[in-house]
Chain A
Amino acid sequence: MLDLAITGFTLAFLALGLRQPFLWVLAYLYIDILTPQKISWSLLASLPISLIAFILAFGGWLVLDDKRGTRFTLRQALIVVLLAYCGITTTIAEFPVEAAEKWSWVWKALLFAIFLPLTLRTRLRIEAVVTVMVLTVGAILITGGIKTAAGGGGYGQLQTFVPDNAGIYEGSTLSTIAIAMVPLSWWVARFTTIFPRGKLVTLFAAALTFAALLIPVGTQTRTGLLCIALLVVLSLRSVKRRFLYLGLAGLVAVAAIPFLPASYTKRMSTIENHQSDQSASTRVAVWMWTLDYVKDHPFGGGFDAYRSNRLLVPTVKAEGTDNNVTLTTEYHVEEGRAYHSAYFEMLGEQGYPGFALWAWIQLLGVWQMERLRRRWKDRKAAHQAWVAPLANALQLSQLVYFLGALFIGIAFQPVMFMIIGLQCGLWSYCRRIDAPAPRPVLPGASQLRTSAT
């Protein structure tokens, strides 16, 4: 039944693209985020559905879509360069087979981020992309949130639709994306023209936010908790009643603590005392190794270069009570440990140039959203008031990602590249509609010119 419903929905989504080709772009977003082909087990699983959706989206745009006013932005050009650069490092990678496997999905994420802004010509298209992203990620958040509330979950144990602990379904990644989606879901609730605005939409956004906040609890990921804290602090900038907001946030936090599972609070306490935590010590050791590695390989070792590492990881253990504590350092060997940080992932795999390009693409986004936010914040007309809050939401999502990326190797996370694509699209759209109208020719100007000659 589920198989039939998911297959039917996906195929109907694609079929509706015949009426409106832009829907194929939305279908690709849906398929790439949720991977319904992994939930389904018959027809959909046997079709290269993601590739089909991409070909339809790109073909539909190329053949049928109006391209007036389409601009190619600097960030898209930078992504093109990054794509080419990663392609080159893949051909000379230290682990060619593993590198080729990662390249097989990275190029799609980058290409889609280049392509998406070209299609975002109207306000409704931008809104449609945000809405489909929120609802699709929302599907995972709802199930994860309910299961957590019902007492399920655990580190690496919270199962949503897909049993493999990879991509968006990996615990830390899901936590980061869940929190990054919160500002976007509130933007949809405030400015949607697709759904009738009102209490129901606000209620849905509130429920989705609650589910998103539960994901770090269900997955028991420390990264998610830090992301929540960052979002609370960053949101202070845009909320109207700051003290009320802070008071409510504090109240919710205090009220939530008794309901959190003991395993969760125990794991969160290791944020401060990371030396006794083996996984944290391993991360630090990998990061140090990467810094040494990139000195010898300034152009990186290609995807999955971490496989060559061999680390001696120290773990400090405290024994005894209060005033009589003995600290002992134990060492153990770890091999082929992943980067556990997008920054070190970029540095180790793509070297200094790749890291610089990636950082440029990311930071330019923060700067562009800030510019849009400031430029449009005082425009209150109905057709303009949505811009500054969207720029703000996209900036917040990206900053949450920056924090999550400190501890997870998600440098090429497709959802985050979709957000980059959205930012490029919004930037390009605003530049176009905000361009000064051509000056009207003054009546009599030609006569003046004639009389002057």
Chain B
Amino acid sequence: MVDYFALALSHGLLVLAVWHLAWRRDLDEDPAQPEPETVEPAEPRPSQPGLRIRA
């Protein structure tokens, strides 16, 4: 009886998994991922924030 339960539970989940996998497109190819965000070059900062260069 216990064997039947264990087989039914595990095989039930295997059926779900395998059936699901059979129709998944990404089994053969990973979905395209968004391009990594390009980091905008930051504004050049003055080396000492408190100081201003006079023209």
Contacts and interface: CB of A to CB of B under 8 A. Distances in A.
A20 B22 contact: yes
B17 A135 contact: yes
Interface residues of A, number: 40
Given A16-B22, A146-B6, A136 B30 contact: no
Given A138-B10, A383-B33, A160 B3 contact: yes
A23 interface: yes
A2 interface: yes
Given A122-B27, A383-B33, A132 B6 contact: no
Contacts of B33: 381, 383
Contacts of B9: 139, 142
B18 to A, nearest CB: 6
A139 B11 CA distance: 8
Given A122-B26, A124-B24, A135-B10, A23 B2 contact: no
A194 B17 CA distance: 6
Contacts of A138: 10
The binding surface of chain A is classed by DSSP as helix
Which size bracket describes the interface of B in this complex? Answer: 20 to 34
Contacts of A272: none
Contact of B10 (A136, A146, A147): A136
A2 B28 contact: no
Given A146-B6, A161-B3, A383-B33, A124 B27 contact: yes
A136 B26 contact: no
Give 3 nearest A-B pairs by CB, closest first: A139-B10, A143-B6, A142-B6
Interface of B: 2-7, 9-11, 13-22, 24, 26-31, 33
Given A121-B28, A121-B29, 17 more contacts: A13-B14, A20-B27, A66-B29, A122-B27, A122-B29, A122-B30, A123-B26, A124-B21, A124-B30, A128-B21, A132-B14, A135-B10, A135-B13, A136-B14, A139-B11, A147-B2, A160-B3
Interface of A: 2, 5-6, 9, 13, 16, 19-20, 22-23, 26, 30, 39, 66, 121-125, 128, 131-132, 135-136, 138-140, 142-143, 146-147, 150, 160-161, 194-195, 204, 381, 383, 433
